[in-house]
Amino acid sequence: MRAVKVQPLAARIAVVAAALFLGLLVLVSTGALGRGSVDVHADAAANAAVRAHPALLSTAHAVTNLGAPLVVDILAVVAALALWFTGHRRAATYVLAVRIGGQIVASGVKVLVGRPRPVLPHPVAHAVGHSFPSGHATDAASVYLPLAVVVCALFAGRALRVSIVALAMLICLAVATTRVLLGVHYPSDVLAGLAAGVALTAILTPVLDP
């Protein structure tokens, strides 16, 4: 039986994303991104921006739902079922594997690190649980990115692949940005969430190709 290997590009992406995640984990765990850090100042600036621009706040509230756990779970399950019953069973398994992996990583690290959420004098949104990494950012990256990979691999021609991947990345970045604008996460939280989703998307690509 031929050994399963990660393609070189996927391997490089996985290494870079994992390194970013681990680097942020170390910075947060050691308190380097605590009081007075760029994280805190960025949240304060974002809070001032949305309070000064109600339309920006409304947009952030709407866009952030694209990364809500229920939304991405339904999307992942529906996509996996569609792929399974159209004969693309490895693709279906891949989509679910990345999604489940994202949930495990985000939940486990949240408990391990136990970082409190930002505290702002004039909050515009509220969330429960720990802050690092961002669940919404991880959820978005662990669903939209593997779906883009599957669409590119199974259905899209070369001319469409860049657009599909760019759209998936744009959605993930938009969701991550809203979490900072709403003041429920620090920038390092959402960067770590995105990195986790990217790493899982890349490292699990062998599931697609035996």
Of 188, 181, 193, 143, the closest CA to residue 64 belongs to: 181
- Does residue 35 lie within any of the structural domains? no
Q: Answer yes or no: is 115 within a domain.
A: yes
pLDDT in tens, 69-91: 999 999 999 999 999 999 999 99
Cα atoms in the 13 Å half-sphere on the side-chain side of 27: 20
CA dist., res. 173 & res. 4, Å (int): 31
Q: pTM of the prediction?
A: 0.91
pLDDT for position 9: 83
Give a yes or no: residue 124 inside a domain. Answer: yes
Closest C-alpha among 115, 97, 91 to residue 40: 115
Report the pLDDT value the prediction gives residue 155, as an integer from 0 to 100: 74
Residue-wise pLDDT for 156-172, tens only, equals 677 788 889 899 999 99
- The verdict on residue 169 lying in a domain is yes
For residue 188, is it within any domain?
yes
Determine if the peptide bond prior to 133 is cis (ω within 30°).
Answer: yes
Residue 51 structural domain: 8-30+40-207
Q: How many residues does the chain have?
A: 210
- How many domains does the structure of the chain reveal? 1
